[in-house]
Chains A and B, each alone.
Chain A
């Protein structure tokens, strides 16, 4: 990065934060601080919901997934439109009618205080951990590649988001998210067109897709019913729907975004905006990764993208072996390149037999290159167990730094930070609100003034920000970063969703039954997670189904025993 890139990065990030602080200055009442001025339109809500979900990991790591595994990850989002319809039709009208600040307040209305605390506690636990990951994930990749200090990157980006979230509350979060997502889209679209322009002369989009298809990178929909496959249309539609339903319907970081709508209509349209554009957005980001894969078939690429880790091991006695693997990789790639060119020539010349033969030869050369890459990964993993980030996370940033012009590099790094801060702000805003409304006001000090709760909400938001920064400073992740977020969510979300579905649809079940059912279900999901290897998306269904089924059984047992739980309140 040069001075221009740094100017774009610092100017944009500090400018957006300063504008948000300035325009939301002045006193707030509790409703204004936690839910905004209730003037938010559907587009701001839609972009805010999108920005909260799409963290830096989405833009940094997802192209790497596309590069390594193709488009299959897009299936993860197939259930999102279904879930958003349910949230819009069922959850949202009830939350608005009860005028709740948090989703868990509704559990208190419907069941009892302990169930409300359980819902809020599960949210604080998993979102508190997740907040650390959203700040750590981009920092580890960017600091490694740029040579920045990891701790300084985490602390500086963390403090910036804490500053404007604490200062302006919900309005500041929505406002910054709108500008930040604009920066993100501008950066990603510019990168896409620069990538197309960088493809070898004569290699058009159609030829690129043919090559990608030949390497099985375009398999976006898998109809397999194998439970061990992580992404199929079934895990996406069913598991993905439950994950999205839990996330959009019960996670306060999302609920808070659409509760600030000027009316039910604005909130609903904001959700439907996401229902329509979420899948194409993810497809576009994955396609970017697939096209980077095609690009690197014609350009020299490193056998291992995390050059800092590679150089570190070269300096520590692995140099001969690693250089030999790079040479094997280069040789296989050179052969592959020749076969790819012959494949394209045969295709343009209308010779299907030669096309098939060259395609097979290209695939064989690609396998040899992949074997060298896999061996390199194994050596680096064994030599440095602390190097736990997935190499695919470094693909996109390596492409950006090696092949894009200055100015655009600055814009894209700004986009990654904008994405990190936008999702982080939504999370901190929600963590602060839930701690204030569901824990502090409910347990510690009810009946205080609005001004007191606003001060406490600011304090709790700042506290969660510092917790997230501390967690990020000590984090150590083995999974691909975006998957780590989804796995963490899936382990807890199913049970929370179960609580809400019982509340909405099983009207005769009372607080005591659902409370113990939720605890038992969470224990079941954690037990399965640590002992089984099924796709993590299924945990959403298992947790939800177990919570609902056990609630029915326990309520029946309580009724039979003649000891009812707390009577349900009006909803």
Chain B
């Protein structure tokens, strides 16, 4: 990242895992900070100013979901959760509380670093590009989304998702394609990621999320940008 090493805040209560994560991440060229107590995570976050948060959902004391919500309330930085739970409800709850992506324990180091890099790599800025979806304006280099001049605050992931759809307004994106383009998954992965984040995006940019006009569902296929 422009010569500077990206900083990852690891929030995990397991000392061995936290240390191992540090070893792996340092080996991959990241700076790391570790916080073992969920209740101190927010303070550490303010102090460290990380580029990404690696959050273990099963923390003693404060629920990982709460930590996720607290951080998300302050910042849109990428949050990847580490989870041992595979139940739909738990994964969806984690994503709904603001996580961008999740990695299921046990994971391979390469899998984890691939996910982290995918989240840190931002969409290509390109030229001074302005996109329009329905009645929403997207200023790609400025990372600004507006409706009638009113700015709408999106997390970087939500922004990337919207830009990916808006750049090819006539194309219908399957969930798998979106996973590859936005999340950086090479192989098909959990399409729930797409579903949850589309819902989150809609809740911010749609006038009526029940009847979406910006991100339109194409039944049986996927999503596409609404016509302007």
A and B together in one complex: no
B: which residues have CB within 8 A of A?
A: none
